[in-house]
Amino acid sequence: MPFGVIYIAIMPTSDTGLDKTLAALGVTEAAQVVPRFAQVRSQFDGQFQTVADESEWKIFRDTWLGRKSGVLTLITDNWLKPATPDLKRVVGQQLNELRAHVESQIEARRLTVESGAEEAALARDRVDLSLPGVLRLVGSHHLIRQVFQEIEDIFFSIGFSIVEGPEIETPYYNFEALNIPEFHPVRDDMDTFYLDSKGAATPLLLRTHTSPMQIRTMEKQKPPVRVIVPGKVYRRDNPDATHSFAFHQIEGLAVDTDITFCDFTGTIEYFVKQFFGPSVKTRFRPSYFPFTEPSVEFDVSCPFCAGTGAAATGGSCSKCKGAAWIELFGAGMVDPAVYGFVGYDPKKVSGFAFGIGIDRLAMLKYGIDDIQVFFQNDVRFLRQFP
Ligand code: DAH
């Protein structure tokens, strides 16, 4: 019921004679007083039924109990106070009864109105379990992360443990301890980003490869060492289909008292077959890295043309360009000079190391021809590798 309407409806002043004294209403005997109060009370009871919510209840309460012009105040002022001594007692008594009734009813109504409000609030907030849920898409691992995982699993299964190292390195770990002195020409291939390290004890740079972890691992640990190091590396390369200023590598290092070149090639061959499938062949060619001696470059027989160099549809295989072999990554036997930097005795220990480019391997295995797609994070690309 709208405010105005109820307000007028429950203002019982004139028709019940509240605005007049009893004398003016012609009430002179006690017997006439009782019906007057009964009328007011029945009006109260009638209005009482219509109070539906808290705001209506407040208006109702003020109408009846309001200090200034509530009904009970009007009765006190207009009926009781000016009453003749004969009537005063019965008016007072009637007024008390009426007051007790009005106050208790209004209080009782307050409780039901409030619990009604509570119920309404509960109903409003109720969770509708029959509604269809909000579908939140769960992401998947980036293809690079998946390839990391694949390679880690393979090496883990043959006794390598996984270590990680800092992406911010010192020139000592990134170069010198790896037998790459200042002004060594290979530094040109590994030009990188230097940090503003004024005041630092040494210049700081973003590592160009994961190889510094060879040094950090051997510094901390006596042989036998068998670790792989997955991580991000940086170079000052201009971006193109095969270059990016940031990319990913897994370094490998195995050092013990009796590791041979056969252990080395056998391990690599095992890995390559696990990764590309049992039918591929591996080969190695001489190469050069300052921290390995001898150094090699590993190739895999092209998995796309079964090492024939020929496309199934005629012509030469587009992946290996007809070469039948695909270059995979660099490796070698650890150069004895490196042992000198970590306090290993080069006469007692031997070992091998390798550095796998993850982006390159992922591109090869999954037929991706542009390294940039790994960094653009276009979901149309990412969704192809759930
Ligand atoms: N660190 C080399 C690079 O980023 C890759 C590499 C080659 C790592 C031979 C090795 C290795 O451990 O033995 O180009």
| Tens digits of residue pLDDT in 67-76 | 988 999 999 9
Instruction: Give, for ligand 1, the residue of 187, 191, 206, 211 to mutate: max count of ligand atoms closer than 8 Å to Cβ.
Output: 211
Mean pLDDT score, 325-334: 95
Confidence of residue 3 (pLDDT cuts 50, 70, 90): very low
Instruction: Give, for ligand 1, the residue of 174, 243, 248, 289 to mutate: max count of ligand atoms closer than 8 Å to Cβ.
Output: 289
The answer on pLDDT for 1 being more than 80 is no
The answer on pLDDT for 143 being more than 90 is yes
Helix residue spans in the chain (DSSP H): 3-9, 30-50, 54-65, 71-74, 85-125, 143-156, 171-174, 212-220, 261-276, 336-342, 358-366, 373-376, 379-382
User: What is the percentage of the chain residues whose pLDDT exceeds 70?
Assistant: 96
d(C-alpha 206, C-alpha 208), whole Å:
6
50-108 pLDDT, tens digit per residue, is 888 888 899 999 999 999 889 999 999 999 999 888 889 999 999 999 999 999 999 98
Least Cα distance to 228 among 300, 163, 149 occurs for: 163
- In this prediction the pTM is 0.66
The answer on pLDDT for 110 being more than 70 is yes
Q: With a 6 A CB cut-off, is 292 part of the ligand 1 pocket?
A: yes
Q: How many whole angstroms from 248 Cα to the centroid of ligand 1?
A: 12
Confidence of residue 9 (pLDDT cuts 50, 70, 90): very low
Residue 111 is predicted with a pLDDT of: 87
From residue 305, give the alpha-carbon distance in Å to each of 189, 271, 321, 366, 386.
32, 20, 10, 14, 26
Query: For the chain, what is the mean pLDDT?
Result: 90
For ligand 1, atom 7, name the residue with the nearest CA: 330
The answer on pLDDT for 11 being more than 70 is no
The answer on pLDDT for 240 being more than 60 is yes
**pLDDT top residue among 117 and 164:** 164
Residue 14 is predicted with a pLDDT of: 60
Which is the closest atom of ligand 1 to the Cα of 211? 1
Confidence of residue 118 (pLDDT cuts 50, 70, 90): confident
Q: How many whole angstroms from 143 Cα to the centroid of ligand 1?
A: 22
Q: Backbone dihedral region of 307: left (phi > 0), alpha (psi from -120 to 50 degrees) or beta?
A: left
Which is the closest atom of ligand 1 to the Cα of 352? 13
Mean pLDDT score, 358-368: 92
The answer on pLDDT for 338 being more than 80 is yes
Range of lowest pLDDT (10-24, 113-127, 207-221): 10-24
| Amino acid at the residue 155 | F
Q: How many residues would you count in the chain?
A: 386
Confidence of residue 4 (pLDDT cuts 50, 70, 90): very low
Tokens describing residue 235: 């170079």
**Could you give the 3-state DSSP secondary structure of residue 283?**
strand
Residue 13 is predicted with a pLDDT of: 59
188-230 pLDDT, tens digit per residue, is 777 788 998 788 889 999 999 999 999 999 999 999 999 999 9
The answer on pLDDT for 170 being more than 90 is yes
Mean pLDDT score, 335-347: 96
Q: With a 6 A CB cut-off, is 264 part of the ligand 1 pocket?
A: no
User: What is the percentage of the chain residues whose pLDDT exceeds 90?
Assistant: 65
252-287 pLDDT, tens digit per residue, is 999 999 999 999 999 999 999 999 999 999 999 999
Q: How many whole angstroms from 100 Cα to the centroid of ligand 1?
A: 96
Mean pLDDT score, 227-250: 94
Residue 5 is predicted with a pLDDT of: 42
For ligand 1, atom 12, name the residue with the nearest CA: 354
For ligand 1, atom 9, name the residue with the nearest CA: 331
301-310 pLDDT, tens digit per residue, is 998 899 999 9
Q: With a 6 A CB cut-off, is 251 part of the ligand 1 pocket?
A: yes
Instruction: Give, for ligand 1, the residue of 209, 216, 237, 359 to mutate: max count of ligand atoms closer than 8 Å to Cβ.
Output: 209
For ligand 1, atom 6, name the residue with the nearest CA: 355
